[in-house]
A and B are shown apart, each in its own frame.
Chain A
Amino acid sequence: MDWAKDSLERLESTREERLSSKPPKLSTGEAEKLLYEYHPDYSGMQRSIRVGPNASNEKFPHELADILEADSQLPLDFEPSTDVETDVLILGGGGAGAATAIALEGAGFNVHLATKLRLGDSNTVMAEGGIQASLGKGDSARRHFADAYVGGHGENGSSLLRVLCENSADTIHWLGKLGCMLDRNEDGTFRLRSGGGTSIPRVLACKDYTGLEIMRVLKDAVLLSSTQTLEEHAAIELLDDGEGQVTGAVLWDRNKGGLITVSARAVILATGGSGQLRFQGFPTSNHLGAMGDGLVLAYRQGCKLVNADSHQYHPSGTAYPESMAGQLVTESIRSAGAQVVNAQGERFTGEMVLRDTLAAAIIREVSENRGVKTHSGRVGVWLDTPLIDLKNGNGTIRRQFPGIVHRFERYKIDLAKQPILIYPTLHYQNGGIQIDEDGRTEVKGLWASGEVTGGIHGTNRLMGNSLLDITVFGQRAAKSVQNNLPSRRPVTLTRLREFREKLKGLHGRKAILSPQLFPALTGMKISFEKKTEPLENNFSSTSSFSLDPPDPFSQ
């Protein structure tokens, strides 16, 4: 990183002194002012929408408002006619969808899980830092609640948050039974770390691969269950019975082309977040499919969205190298001792303040010219990672954060020796579909769980509460569906027709269709035409001829 030589030298010259320094204190009033002046949620790049249950009340980021006011991808002449009949249809193949499917196993239902990408390709698998559970000495579900409530600025739905906190220990146990290996101390107890806004160490982890560990275990459990998985099947629209009950969905088979009508007695939306909408041009730590699909589908059915103007900009997104822009650098690396330092080599805030506050502080530093600029034009501040080994002994960072070390190694950046450049990255959808404590939406037949829902985390989620959210509420939605499964009703597009009528009166809408499914910058195309089978496929399916060499070990 020769291009930043001067600034790096300044940083190194202050390291010794910073090692034992206390971070600058921030009063509640100062933190609020910082948010108001610099956090992207308050930038004024929001507008109200003119249709649906949230019409003219709240404001939404422009990019989200545009897709909520957009027309459906479904052709006008499409008429649903059942191709697949199932009891429960889960939409989404991340942690929430998988947890729901696993919890439904044994209930005797026919369960289908449809996912736009492959099972497990999700934000869950990308989560690094950990999962909160009140297992420490002196900790309790109440204390967990108090932390998350203050962290969420009191905008949390109290009863939802209480459910989240009260179920943490059981959920960790559940994950353990499925085979998750979370890091332990030598005495066999779970290793607990602090996160921003936790008043006591409460974050359990599997190195810096916690989401990967949880997702691959959940994925295997789904594959071992009777759930029928429909990979690369994107949900295009929800179906209803004409009397306000959701009764299924229209899916697009990305591989074969064509639309499939699924009739279901219950639908569970677990479609995740919307980071790839890249509000205000921010980079994102989210996976390719995080396009807010579920918000659009539920909104057309009349589901209210809560706190949908609130998004989490994770303070430590990668700003250099360019090809990694936006990728997550876990918060626990700060908890382990890495400091956030500006171009002058100064600490400007505590590293473990709330995520929104730290993100705003970084944006302030940069906008007041105390940031570092890359040759690609990105800006950021330093995350002084060598401090971790200085504080805890050589090899600590490599041992505790193998994922991040591995990713930067490729660019010859050794985190034990040099700092990395960070800038806030669009990370999490704080708000979403309104649900009750059992994952029920306001619309009969429709449940939701995970990042697509809103209310639990208020307007700022604490580290480690989303992996807990998906597992707790994924299971609760399953239980609720099991106890309240509606009878089968007809599949119609009544709600969509009504929505389309309302759109007719709206002028100045963007000429886009939604859900958009994939980020515009990828150029991925949506076509419902049935693809013709390639010749080779026909060939191999009608004969036993194989190009593979014979297996010498068979028989």
Chain B
Amino acid sequence: METFEIKVAGKPIRARSGETVIHALWNAGMPELIKTGCVGGVCGACTVTVRSPNGKINGTDLACMCPVEEGMEVFPCSVDAVPTIASEPNPSADKLRVAYPTLDRCTKCGSCTASCPMSIPVMDSVLRMRSDQLNEVADDFTTCINCGLCRFVCEDGVLPHVMGMWVRRSIGSSRESAKNNTLEVASEQIELEWKYLLDGDSTLRMKHAQQFRENGEIES
């Protein structure tokens, strides 16, 4: 297997082609260099910056999702959590401004979008927050893992990730409960069905459960 050198936090380690930075660290006996959580790209613990010698990759990433490349340099950059703010019913741009006055600081440099490991159009979404297109914002942030890299790179102290979550929670909690159809069943019938499923020995219970699956009713 092809191996080559990469540097993590300035320390040279051997890495095997095809593995991620996290796996290379485990193999090199330096697992603690980068904070690690899910190892599946969704918890946002292992945020790093990456520099590659040929200038191809230069930016931020999740170490658990980042394949090693010869000569690359990786720098841990843990992002501290930002205190969260309670959601508001029927959110609007103005309510968001009250919760997060940083909204209007954005100077449209686009660093946040470039930094996002989930390819969320962060800056565009911040502009949508300003212009009250909050449903679109909620949609943009569907895949946000709250790693905080967008905040980390922001020169202006905007907090896009927590604002995105605030918008989602606010919209989510203001939605009407869904009116899905469930059968209106008399309580005696419900008790009868539970009795049918729960009484008897294990063979009978299994038989009844299998039957009940067919149409959700007791066989007449």
Contacts and interface: CB of A to CB of B under 8 A. Distances in A.
A475 B123 CA distance: 38
Interface stretch (A181-189, A347-355, A464-472): A181-189
A179 B85 CA distance: 13
Contacts of B213: 143, 146-147, 150, 199
B37 A149 contact: no
Contacts of B145: 212
Interface stretch (B3-11, B48-56, B197-205): B197-205
Contacts of B214: 199
A192 B185 CA distance: 21
Contact of B216 (A142, A289, A411, A521): A142
Interface stretch (A5-13, A50-58, A217-225, A537-545): A217-225
B45 A117 contact: yes
B38 interface: yes
A220 B165 contact: yes
Contacts of A455: none
A139 B212 CA distance: 11
Interface string A362-397: 000000000000001000000000000000000000
B219 interface: no
Contacts of A495: none
Given A125-B38, A179-B172, A209-B143, A142 B65 contact: no
Given A176-B177, A217-B172, A328-B40, A524 B193 contact: no
Contacts of A23: none
Interface in B177-220: 177-183, 185, 190, 193-194, 197-198, 202, 205-206, 208-210, 212-216
Contacts of B38: 121-122, 125-126, 287-288
Contacts of A406: 118-119, 143
B67 interface: yes
Contact of A125 (B31, B42, B157, B209): B42
Given A181-B138, A287-B40, A288-B39, A524 B32 contact: yes
Contact of B194 (A118, A125, A142, A217): A142
Max chain B Cβ within 10 angstroms of own Cβ: one of A136, A192, A216? A216
A158 interface: yes
A145 B197 contact: yes
Contact of A118 (B41, B45, B142, B168): B45
B173 A323 contact: no
A140 B215 CA distance: 11
A180 B215 CA distance: 31
B23 interface: yes
Given A223-B84, A522-B26, A125 B172 contact: no
Interface residues of B, number: 71
Given A122-B38, A189-B179, A553-B105, A142 B197 contact: yes
Given A117-B45, A523-B31, A524-B31, A173 B177 contact: yes
B83 A150 contact: no
Interface in A142-171: 142-143, 145-147, 149-150, 154, 158, 162, 169
B171 interface: yes
Given A217-B172, A376-B18, A522-B26, A126 B178 contact: no
B115 interface: no
B168 A189 contact: no
A285 interface: yes
Interface string B165-176: 100111111011
Given A181-B168, A188-B176, A323-B23, A121 B198 contact: no
Interface string B24-67: 00100111100111111111010000000000000000000101
B125 interface: no
A139 B216 contact: yes
A216 B146 contact: yes
A302 interface: no
Nearest to A519: B26
Contacts of A220: 84, 165, 169
A120 interface: yes
Contacts of B175: 176, 181
B113 interface: no
Contacts of A149: 197, 205-206, 209
A184 B172 CA distance: 12
B29 A523 contact: yes
Given A136-B181, A212-B145, A181 B198 contact: no
Contacts of B18: 321-323, 376
A407 interface: yes
Contacts of B177: 173, 176
Contacts of A410: 65, 67
14 contacts: A138-B215, A146-B208, A146-B212, A150-B209, A154-B205, A162-B194, A169-B182, A179-B171, A188-B179, A220-B169, A287-B40, A402-B143, A410-B65, A553-B105
Interface of B: 18-20, 23, 26, 29-32, 35-43, 45, 65, 67, 81, 83-84, 86-87, 102, 105, 118-119, 138, 142-146, 156-157, 165, 168-173, 175-183, 185, 190, 193-194, 197-198, 202, 205-206, 208-210, 212-216
Give the 4 A-B residue pairs with the shortest CB-CB distance, closest first: A179-B169, A121-B37, A135-B180, A179-B172
Interface of A: 117-118, 120-122, 125-126, 134-140, 142-143, 145-147, 149-150, 154, 158, 162, 169, 173, 176-181, 184, 188-190, 192, 199-200, 206-207, 209, 211-213, 216-217, 219-220, 223-224, 285, 287-289, 321-323, 327-328, 376, 402-403, 406-407, 410-411, 518, 521-525, 551, 553
